[in-house]
Amino acid sequence: MDRHDIALIGFGGVNRALAQIILDRGDELAADLGFALRVVAITDLRLGSLMQADGIDLADVFAMRDGETFAGRPGGTAAPQNDYVIRNSTADIVVEATFTNPIDGEPGISHVRAALESGKSVTTTNKGPVALAGLELNRLAAANGLTFQYEGSVVSGTPILRFASETLQGLRIDAVEGILNGTSNYVLGKMESGMTLDVAVAEAQSLGYAEADPTADIEGSDVQLKVVILANELLGADITTADVTRRGISEVSAADIIDAAAQGKRYKLIGSAFRNAAGTVTAKVEPVALPLTHPLASVTGPTNAVSFDTDLLGTVTVSGPGAGRIETAYALLSDIIAIDAHQRARVEAGR
Amino acid sequence: MDRHDIALIGFGGVNRALAQIILDRGDELAADLGFALRVVAITDLRLGSLMQADGIDLADVFAMRDGETFAGRPGGTAAPQNDYVIRNSTADIVVEATFTNPIDGEPGISHVRAALESGKSVTTTNKGPVALAGLELNRLAAANGLTFQYEGSVVSGTPILRFASETLQGLRIDAVEGILNGTSNYVLGKMESGMTLDVAVAEAQSLGYAEADPTADIEGSDVQLKVVILANELLGADITTADVTRRGISEVSAADIIDAAAQGKRYKLIGSAFRNAAGTVTAKVEPVALPLTHPLASVTGPTNAVSFDTDLLGTVTVSGPGAGRIETAYALLSDIIAIDAHQRARVEAGR
């Protein structure tokens, strides 16, 4: 039985959910996938750092008291020594799940770079490194014979990137458009039934869909990062957030929504990118009044969806959860499965 | 550059579309996929048989006069010697695209068996062999170190089977349900807007969606075959059509549809299979009044869709074309890509 040793950078909801999956059903997964998973390092802003090459007792970590740190445990410190742990742990895969920084991508970019420089493949759910330095980090991974995977950076665990790159092989993707933010989609739905933007946002916050500061969701900058990832990954573009025109749902009024409904249409915040006649890629985020027959018009609430326009197959759409701790942890697991497959292919090719 | 030599069994719309794709964009595909495609055999009820180990001139075949056969060409006969060609052609991949026989799966089953017995991998769009003998043919393929692929047997080129088996790796699929027949879906949509079943069927026929005999579409037996494939392939069942309860859309009246609409619901012909408490699989085809918020409720016209209920990710849905010559030819191409990948993996593993 093969095994991957993993380092968890950040121990918030998503990496905790991944650890819980490994603890609860590691044996079942190993039988299914042909490899075992062992956590050998954890770092976290509040917990500090823990490196144990023989495998960390996850049940023990889950039993930690509030305010307790890793200090005092073998291989443990109270300080979150992210860079040191990434470079020196015995892990072969680093799982980066720290917060998204939409401005400069840090510390995510440095984490990914440190991992790839020290011989470790990386999976991340962090949009920052992928949107702001994806091409550079992919080149670094390739140069070092490693794999950089980030399925969870776009639509949580719903496998959009892998669907496009693997399942749609042989097709040319000409355009991609999607509902890429569950909070704004939920809020638009509520506005359709007569709520004001502010009340709908407050409701989304109380349900845990929206952040305390909902600006990134409502004004479209979260979607903007995701459109950069989709355009660069699926359309071979090399764009940055500055290249993505952005308008948020605050520009849609209750009157707009009523007018649209009267015409059989429904507003959705659409992130899109398409290859234009000049061969470059046009990308934008904007509220669009879609006809009800459009494949994205009926995607409601926190569900996300992405439609791909292809040459031979026309339009194909994938929809599924766009958030959730366990769902996003599955994105990490699916990335680890892909990293394993790539490593095996490399070993076979090198024989 | 690697190359696959292929034999086209049946030269109707779908295999013609595949040949056209190879003729028009073979070079582009070869650059993209890393292998070339060459047609070395064609058999067809009306055209006869043609075997040319150095590759058939497809432009010449497309230029054939109405009523002309392959007789007189080198390697050509007026008779469609399917079994002889499958066994003796120099192809390494057989593309089976003859008609679906829902009763005994013939001649499709014999074609697939002959190919696998003579060392050739197979792709088919023919539901018959997959639904009625899928497990046997998969075992035969595995025993002979070959690959049997049939993406196009369920939802045309929309890659349902590969999405489930590859993109959703690591998840347990507990249930699958889908809109698997575009004709009945189109007819139900027309009945919603007040048409009678008969008029709607006639309109679907005039648009080319429905067959001259629409019984298999309207009474659900087409979907029944597809449910067998989904249940056996994705839920590990071993069922036959007799195990799939079947009710068609002829059981839905205009009054039912109006009543459903008054309750915010919409009728869809749903094929479904789920793992029940006893661990066996329950499968059925029936018209279901879905709430409009259901992911399948808004799938309209000739579009098909399949939802997968999974343990970690909840419900994920893929929608796309459920018919069309080019779209279905893409299913064959995607199968050939999968066969190539399996063959490479086998070669690497055998080194």
The number of residues making up chain B comes to: 351
Yes or no, beta carbons of A317 and B312 under 8 Å apart: no
Closest CA to A293 of B154, B128, B193: B193
The ipTM is 0.95
Yes or no, beta carbons of A167 and B171 under 8 Å apart: no
Quick one: A138 and A12 in the same domain? yes
- Can you tell me the distance from the alpha carbon of B268 to that of B257, in angstroms, rounded to the nearest whole number? 10
- Please name the residue of chain B whose CA is at the shortest distance from the CA of residue A332: B170
Quick one: B317 and B331 in the same domain? no
Portion 138-177 of A in contact with B at CB < 8 A:
157-159, 162-163, 166-171
Query: Is B123 within 8 Å of chain A by CB?
Result: no
- Please name the residue of chain B whose CA is at the shortest distance from the CA of residue A349: B348
- pLDDT for A257-288, tens place per residue? 999 999 999 999 999 999 999 989 999 999 99
- Please name the residue of chain B whose CA is at the shortest distance from the CA of residue A324: B313
What local confidence, expressed as pLDDT, does residue A351 receive?
Answer: 62
Quick one: A252 and A283 in the same domain? yes
Closest CA to B132 of B202, B54, B226, B269: B226
Q: Which residues from chain A sit within 8 angstroms of residue B123, using beta carbons?
A: none
Yes or no, beta carbons of A167 and B157 under 8 Å apart: no
Q: Which site among A20, A165, A169, A348 would you substitute to test the B interface, given the most B Cβ atoms closer than 10 Å to its Cβ?
A: A169
Q: Which residues from chain B sit within 8 angstroms of residue A315, using beta carbons?
A: 320-321
Amino acid at site A212 = A
A350 falls in which pLDDT band (50, 70, 90)? Answer: confident
Helix ranges (H only) for B34-75 are 58-62
Tokens of A119: 């011989």
A136 contacts: CB under 8 Å, gap ≥ 6 = none
Q: CATH number of the domain that A55 lies in?
A: 3.40.50.720
- Can you tell me the distance from the alpha carbon of A212 to that of A202, in angstroms, rounded to the nearest whole number? 9
Q: Which residues from chain A sit within 8 angstroms of residue B293, using beta carbons?
A: 300-301
Closest CA to B177 of B160, B165, B157, B189: B160
Counting residues of chain A whose pLDDT is more than 90, the rounded percentage is 91
Measure in Å the smallest separation between the Cα of B269 and chain A Cα atoms: 18
Separate counts of helices (H) and strands (E) for chain B = 13, 13
**Structural domain count of chain A:** 2
Q: Exposed, middle or buried by CB within 10 Å (0-12, 13-18, 19+), for A206?
A: exposed
- B8: DSSP letter: E
Cα dist from A196 to A189, A193, A219, A257, whole Å: 11, 9, 16, 11
- Can you tell me the distance from the alpha carbon of B178 to that of B44, in angstroms, rounded to the nearest whole number? 33
Nearest to A351 among B29, B333, B351 (CB): B351
Yes or no, beta carbons of A319 and B314 under 8 Å apart: no
Quick one: B270 and B127 in the same domain? no
What local confidence, expressed as pLDDT, does residue A293 receive?
Answer: 84
Quick one: A277 and A136 in the same domain? no
CA dihedral B158→B160→B163→B169, nearest 10 degrees, is 180
Q: What are phi and psi of B192, to 5 degrees?
A: -60, -35
Quick one: B125 and B214 in the same domain? no
What local confidence, expressed as pLDDT, does residue B1 receive?
Answer: 62
The number of residues making up chain A comes to: 351
- pLDDT for A207-254, tens place per residue? 877 778 899 999 999 999 999 999 999 999 999 999 999 999 999 998
Quick one: A290 and A345 in the same domain? no
Yes or no, beta carbons of B329 and A313 under 8 Å apart: no
Q: Which residues from chain A sit within 8 angstroms of residue B349, using beta carbons?
A: 348
Quick one: A153 and A257 in the same domain? no
Query: Is B36 within 8 Å of chain A by CB?
Result: no
Yes or no, beta carbons of B162 and A167 under 8 Å apart: yes
Tens digit of pLDDT at every position of chain B (351 positions): 699 999 999 999 999 999 999 999 999 999 999 999 999 999 999 999 999 999 999 999 999 999 999 999 999 999 999 999 999 999 999 999 999 999 999 999 999 999 999 999 999 999 999 999 999 999 999 999 999 999 999 999 999 999 999 999 999 999 999 999 999 999 999 999 899 999 999 998 898 777 788 999 999 999 999 999 999 999 999 999 999 999 999 999 989 999 999 999 999 999 999 999 998 999 999 999 999 889 899 998 889 999 999 999 999 999 999 989 999 999 999 999 999 999 988 887 776
What local confidence, expressed as pLDDT, does residue A166 receive?
Answer: 94
Q: Which residues from chain A sit within 8 angstroms of residue B337, using beta carbons?
A: 169-170
Quick one: A86 and A198 in the same domain? no
- Please name the residue of chain B whose CA is at the shortest distance from the CA of residue A301: B293
Q: CATH number of the domain that A201 lies in?
A: 3.30.360.10
Cα dist from B60 to A199, B52, B55, B63, whole Å: 68, 13, 12, 5
Q: Which residues from chain B sit within 8 angstroms of residue A330, using beta carbons?
A: 170-171, 312-313
* Residue-number span of the structural domain to which B148 is assigned: 2-157+326-350
- Can you tell me the distance from the alpha carbon of B300 to that of B182, in angstroms, rounded to the nearest whole number? 8
Mean pLDDT of A4-33: 96
The radius of gyration of chain A's CA atoms, rounded to the nearest angstrom, is 21
Q: What are phi and psi of B190, to 5 degrees?
A: -70, -35
- pLDDT for A127-164, tens place per residue? 999 999 999 999 999 999 999 999 999 999 999 999 99
Quick one: B101 and B237 in the same domain? no
- pLDDT for A281-332, tens place per residue? 999 999 999 998 898 999 988 899 999 999 999 999 999 999 899 999 999 9
Tokens of B124: 């088919």
- DSSP reduced 3-state for B68: coil
Quick one: A201 and A330 in the same domain? no
Sign of CA dihedral B317, B320, B325, B326: negative
Query: Is B326 within 8 Å of chain A by CB?
Result: yes
Measure in Å the smallest separation between the Cα of A104 and chain B Cα atoms: 31
| C-alpha angle A216-A11-A304 in degrees, rounded to nearest 5 | 40
- Annotated binding-site residue numbers of A for L-homoserine: 211
Yes or no, beta carbons of B32 and A292 under 8 Å apart: no
Quick one: B168 and B316 in the same domain? yes
CA B276 from chain center: how many Å? 27
- Please name the residue of chain B whose CA is at the shortest distance from the CA of residue A163: B167
Catalytic machinery residues of A: 226
The 3 state secondary structure assigned to chain A is: CEEEEEEEECCCHHHHHHHHHHHHHHHHHHHHHCEEEEEEEEEECCCEEEECCCCCCHHHHHCCCCCCCCCCCCCEECCCCHHHHHHHCCCCEEEECCCCCCCCCCCHHHHHHHHHHCCCEEEECCHHHHHHHHHHHHHHHHHCCCCEECCHHHHCCCCHHHHHHHHCCCCCEEEEEEECCHHHHHHHHHHHCCCCHHHHHHHHHHCCCCCCCCHHHHCCHHHHHHHHHHHHHHCCCCCCHHHEEECCHHHCCHHHHHHHHHCCEEEEEEEEEEECCCCCEEEEEEEEEEECCCCCCCCCCCEEEEEEEECCCEEEEEEEECCCHHHHHHHHHHHHHHHHHHHHHHHHHHC
- pLDDT for A185-211, tens place per residue? 999 999 998 999 999 999 988 987 777
Yes or no, beta carbons of A169 and B297 under 8 Å apart: no
